[in-house]
Amino acid sequence: MARKSKTPKAGGPTPTPDIEDKAKNRRRGLFLAIAALPVLALFYATLLYWSSPHTGGTQLRIDQYITLLRQGRIQSATILETDNRITGKYDRGNYWITVGTRETIFSRLTSAMEDAGVAYKVKQQPLKNLIVPASMLLPALIIVDGLFILFLIMRPGGTDGMGFGKSKAKRLAVGESKITFADVAGVDEAIEELAEVRDYLGSPDKFLAMGAAVPKGILLTGPPGCGKTLLARALAGEANVPFFTISGSDFVEIFVGVGAARIRDFFAVAKTAAPCIVFIDELDAVGRSRTAMAVGGQDEREATLNQLLVEMDGFDAGSGVVVLAATNRPDILDSALLRPGRFDRRVGVDRADVRGREAILKIHSRGKPMSEDVELTGIAKRTVGFSGADLANVVNEAALLAARRGSNQVTNRLLVEAIERVVAGPEKKSRILSPQDRSRIAYHEAGHAVVSTALPGCDRVGKLSIVARGHGGGFTWMVPEGDQVTVTRSQLLDRIASLLGGRAAERLVTGEVSSGATADLEHAVSLARRMIADFGMSTNLGPYIVKPFTDGYQGQIGAGYSERIASEIDAEIQEILGTAEDRATAALVANRGAFERLAVTLIEVETLEDDALDQLLLPISSTGELDSAVTTNA
């Protein structure tokens, strides 16, 4: 039977009696502190007024007073001990003089009064002796009371100073998340794994009968935008248990010990709400691998990670608390965090295949007026390598284009244009090109298209344009035939030759190259380096992978290979690029007629696609003749 949990207030944990008592005490203390502040201020002002001497009559100078004594005009005198004054009566009324604290002046005045025969007395003021300690104590009390008020106002609750150690976790009430597994597509295996957690927390009896325990931790890994956080939100909508969510960066703080305190508070709240699910997004912010060379702020990060390790390993098997985390950088996570017992299960959330992309497009098309000519299957085939976030952006861009152009429906043409905007950026129709630049760009893009068509390892050319998009002067859009899991060395060499096709075309037509091939060169060099360093496709090094050396525990980082290996890598990259450019040039020379017609037509119409483009690319010869030509020239 499913365990039911009380519906909490959205956005925070269910208050316990202990927390409610602390909140009442906090409000009571805040009220008393605010009430005491004006009382202390009034008392201090009264003390300052009372401590100042207040004497009626005429103030006399000391020399005037001595003269009046000699003339016999002084009738009486009273010495005020604390005020350092002499008051009394003379022939014109009351008088007072300030004596000060110097002993010589006081002795002179008393001698003058004795010589004049004036009777005087000393009046003690015992209460005023308390003025000095009270004047020091009251300002301190006022400052402390003010700081205490600020402390109570800024403190959100709990037992830590200023609330720094309070976790920033948000609690989702049951039914608050409107997203369910029906709103997630393209990651069926991940949904199946999370559905098992949902079923266990909802009906644990059948699992317990088999002696099975729910995984303590599930780690979602995969590229950005593939739906890791969306899966967590869907699980929150499906699970009939409390769901806590927090970002890994929320545990990070500049103050030492705060991150560990937040970890403790976060898991303490989770334990009181068990069975529940806690979700930590961007786990790499707090779970980065530790080193033995931690200094400064790294000590605080490692203390936070150590506390996380302790908390995750402290759950007993029947607690019913499941930790769900997501990261797109599992390679930098600490090995102790990934071991069974903490994260028992790792679920990969990768880019969807063509069927998954079509399902994702259908989900994002809900609520949008889609035209009858929309073919989501064709759009899914055009978006090879797109993540779920990219596909959502494509549908949204198409809807924006429809609204901008006054259309009441999203057409298939708008979806295709939205793909182009996502891949290459918006068109820059206002950019005016000179005839020379226009011709150079047309031959450059035509070179890409001809070489890609001539080499079997390249994708089909779907569109050519010399209308500027983003930072490029034109673009060649390749349309893959389908999803590809692996790639061979010959296919990579063909793609590198295709990337250098624009540069080879410029050299063939104008006799020199331009800066327009910079992005192509960067991509080609990166691809050639990955062939050698990552894929082990080097003819000189053989089955050898080059990776940077990292010893996380000892904190040692190095190149991981010698200078000789680095020199051979650079030499082979240059060899691959040189051969690729020769192959691209041979393809252009062998198909010079088709190349010229394609470039001239592109200059006239600016954009070529579909049947018009296919007709121009149809006469291009196969690659067998090209390879023999390159061998002969070599």
Catalytic residue among 282, 445, 568, 581: 445
Interatomic CA distance for residues 626 and 457, integer angstroms: 14
For residue 570, the tally of other CB atoms under 10 A from its CB is: 12
Question: Strands 93-98, 120-123: parallel, antiparallel or unpaired by DSSP?
Answer: unpaired
Is 445 one of the annotated active-site residues of the chain?
Answer: yes
Tracing tokens 């508070």 back to the chain, one arrives at 265
Interatomic CA distance for residues 348 and 2, integer angstroms: 29
Give the contacts of 139 (CB within 8 A, at least 6 positions apart). Answer: 44
Rg over alpha carbons for the chain, rounded to the nearest Å, is 42
Give the contacts of 273 (CB within 8 A, at least 6 positions apart). Answer: 5, 8, 13, 14, 171, 242, 244
Phi, psi values for residue 218, rounded to 5°: -125, 125
CB 380 within 8 A of CB 357: yes
CB 182 within 8 A of CB 289: no
Identify the CA nearest to 606 among candidates 510, 469, 452.
Answer: 469
Instruction: Give the distance, in angstroms, between the CA of residue 399 and the centroid of all CA atoms in the same chain.
Output: 28
State how far the alpha carbon of 103 is from the alpha carbons of 44, 53, 100, 120, 462, in Å: 31, 20, 9, 17, 108
Vertex 155 angle, CA 154 and 156, to 5°: 110
Give the contacts of 69 (CB within 8 A, at least 6 positions apart). Answer: 112, 113, 115, 116, 118
Interatomic CA distance for residues 118 and 230, integer angstroms: 99
Phi, psi values for residue 631, rounded to 5°: -65, -40
Phi, psi values for residue 487, rounded to 5°: -140, 140
Helices (H), 117-257: 131-154, 188-202, 205-209, 228-238
Name the residue type at position 248.
G
Burial of 200 (0-12, 13-18, 19+ CB in 10 A): buried
Tracing tokens 């596909």 back to the chain, one arrives at 391
CB 309 within 8 A of CB 357: no
Instruction: Kindly list the catalytic residues.
Output: 445
